Structure 1
Amino acid sequence: MTTDAFRALYEQLRDGTPRSPDDRRGALGHLTPERVVAAAAEVRSGRTVSLAAEIDTRPAPDNPEPAEHRMTGPAAADIGADGLHFARDRFAMNVHGDADSHLDALCHVLFDGELYNGVPADSVTSEGAGSLSLDVVRDGIVGRGVLLDIPRLRGLPWLEPDDHVTAADLAAAEAAQGVRTGPGDLLLVRVGHRRRRRELGAWNAARTRAGLHPTAMQFLAERQVAVLGSDGNNDTAPSTVAEIAFPVHVLAIHAMGLHLMDYLEFAELALACECEGRWSFLCAVAPLRLPGATGSPVNPIAVL
């Protein structure tokens, strides 16, 4: 995709997204209280499924700076001793890596000197983001989730790195699965990244991975999707646009105001959907309460 074509698509999506000058919630505006109430009707069996991968503390080709988890208690003298003692631990993470499940806030993408909706980029400082931070979703995100399984559509275990999901793929997956994405939905797109990693081992996902083609974002705009998530990064690598490393991130977050979730885990969810014969469900996302943050580790829960 040429840079000029990308710029034209960016402007189309930005200008076609209704918003007020002071809007800071972005596409979450599609997720109205009425749609949250309607999403509760998706619960039928009461089965709950985690959509997060286990946090890995071991270095890997796609995880050179893994999360750190260490025990800070109990002390050796406390083990087996009488009285009250506590087990304690400490955790640290590089949130926007290529391995752990996380949510991107709307302040995550700086493009042409601005954040989403014209907010100046210098509102992000070493002290944190002064606007569009994780605080926007401090009350969580709850709505109707829809899983579109692209490897299932193509009869494959996974998409190979550098393959693309198109708008036509998304529409075909809807038809094959008997589901339709609608306004306010949390759209989850499976590319099989996690299964490939499990079966073939980790690789440098920063250099090569499957994801959405930038033009697929037109599908999301037309359907008025509220949140986009994937079991990969959402963006392909190498990028389809020579001068833009993460075109889907730019279009989704910066042009459309879509919160993104990267590197989720859909294996159990896909099995549950197959078993129940439906691909929509109640989905609840609860990020950390960390003011000024650009993202958060996240463990979304699907309730079928």
Structure 2
Amino acid sequence: MKRWLKRPEGSNWGDFGADDQVGRMNLITPERRRAALAEAREGIAFLLGLPLDHPKGQIFPGRFPPRLAATSAGADRPMYDWTPSGGATDVVNDDRVTMDLQYSSQWDGLSHYGACFDADDDGIAEHVFYNGYRSDTHFTQPAEGVAPHAHALGIERLAQTCVQGRGVLVDVRDAGTPPHGRIGHAALMRAIEAQGADVAEGDLLCLYTGYGDLLLRDGAGVNRVALAACPGLDGGDPALLDWIGRSGLAAICADNPMVEKIDGLQRCTGKAMLPLHEHCLVKLGIHLGEFWWFGGIAPWLAAHGRAHFLLTAPPLNLPGAVGSPATPIGTV
């Protein structure tokens, strides 16, 4: 049975197949991956992720830093500085972690963000995700003793693509329009042109806003005025959304919390609070990377007159999760 009779305007549902679950990652073909490998000319690798205990506090309610603990060796004995009985000389440390999967540097899976949309064309809006997958059919909802699970669009689908392609870094630290620092289509095009970047189909666009630098320096205690000065994409700009659709981008990755910049979570009747999330994750299957860090690779690229590099950034291969920590690597 077809999951939808009507798809959202401007979406690509069905274009990669009725059962597709990775969206525009399909555009990173073997040929494009080989071309991306050619960008690794010097063999120098840069870490593009924050430490997973950053931003060292709560920026989003309900998301907490990782909590490490020792695993148990039995009888309430932690397996830390542990030696087995019988006189063996082994000394073992073993630990575990409890963490929120979207606390630090992360990928938003296509199962992370959906929309209320009348996919049945019957006047009643359903809770739908990319390619028409639905909350009531393709997700196990959390309940007492029941863990949530995305049976479609889980983050393991992204992991299976290996997420390796050509990264395009655009420094947008001075591109935002006052007073809110939003970057619309015109401002983004100026930044791309000024830096000689070529954004092509299948590319992974990386936006250097400076936010990650502040978090690495100051954590969640960073001055709010300084944070407000860091820009983000303007999801309310139709020209920007149109360009994202036409560009063929496989993903957008930024060093800020949401890629897009909004004035708080305003609940507007009939509209998405996060229009860029809706456009990318729901309509087009474009994954979003958040809380990345470009403070190491950006100066190197600028000094060498380059904007492109090999980007490798698979998420955790964790079936059923809707997001994942990431440890992205940029190789030049």
Q: Does residue 56 of the first structure (1) align with residue 56 of the second (2)?
A: no
Distance (Å, rounded) in 1 between the aligned partners of 2:178 and 2:100? 26
In 2, are the aligned partners of 1:71 and 1:90 still within 8 Å (CA)?
A: yes
Shift of 1:151: 1.1
Contact 1:107 1:294 in 2 (8 A): yes
Q: Choose which of 286, 308, 312 in structure 2 pairs with 1:284.
A: 312
Instruction: For 1:1-304, list aligned pairs within 5 A.
Output: 11-14=8-11, 18-56=15-53, 60-62=57-59, 65-72=64-71, 74-75=79-80, 78=83, 83-97=89-103, 100-112=104-116, 113-122=127-136, 123-125=138-140, 126=142, 127-139=148-160, 140-151=162-173, 162-198=180-216, 202=220, 210-214=231-235, 215=237, 216-232=240-256, 233-239=258-264, 242-243=267-268, 244-304=272-332
Looking at structure 2, the residues matched to 36 and 188 of structure 1 have their Cα atoms a distance apart, in angstroms, of 17
Shift in alpha-carbon separation, 1:241–1:29, aligned structure 2, 3 A: farther
Report the alpha carbon displacement of residue 202 of structure 1 after superposing the two structures with TM: 2.4
Higher helix share: 1
Query: How far 1:196 sits from its partner (Å)?
Result: 3.1
Judged with a 3 Å threshold, the aligned counterparts in structure 2 of structure 1 residues 27 and 241 are, in CA distance, closer, same or farther, namely: farther
Aligned length: 287
Does the CA contact (< 8 Å) of 2:65 and 2:100 recur in 1?
yes
Spell out, residue by residue over 1:244-276, the C-alpha distance to the aligned partner (whole angstroms, 9 max, x if none): 322211111001101111100010011221232
Q: TM-score, normalised by structure 1?
A: 0.84
Structure 2 contact 56–219 (Cα < 8 Å) conserved = no
The structure-2 alpha-carbon separation of the partners of 1:170 and 1:229, relative to structure 1 and needing over 3 Å to count, comes to: same
Q: Partner amino acid for 1:194? A: G
What secondary structure sits across from 2:189 in the alignment?
Answer: helix
| 1:106 aligned partner, one-letter code | L
Whether the aligned pair in 1 keeps the contact of 2:13 and 2:132 (CA below 8 Å) is no
TM-score by length of 2: 0.77
Deviation (angstroms), 1:239:
4.9
Q: Specify the alignment match of 1:4 in structure 2.
A: none
Greater C-alpha radius of gyration: 2
RMSD: 3.0
Which amino acid counterpart does residue 231 of structure 1 have in structure 2? D
Q: Deviations over 1:206-245 (max 9, x none)?
A: x967421113232222210001100012122325965232
Kindly state the Cα deviation for residue 169 of structure 1 after the two structures are TM-superposed: 2.0
| Alignment partners' CA distance in 2, 1:152 and 1:273 | 17
- Asked whether the 8 Å contact 1:74–1:85 carries over to 2, the reply is no
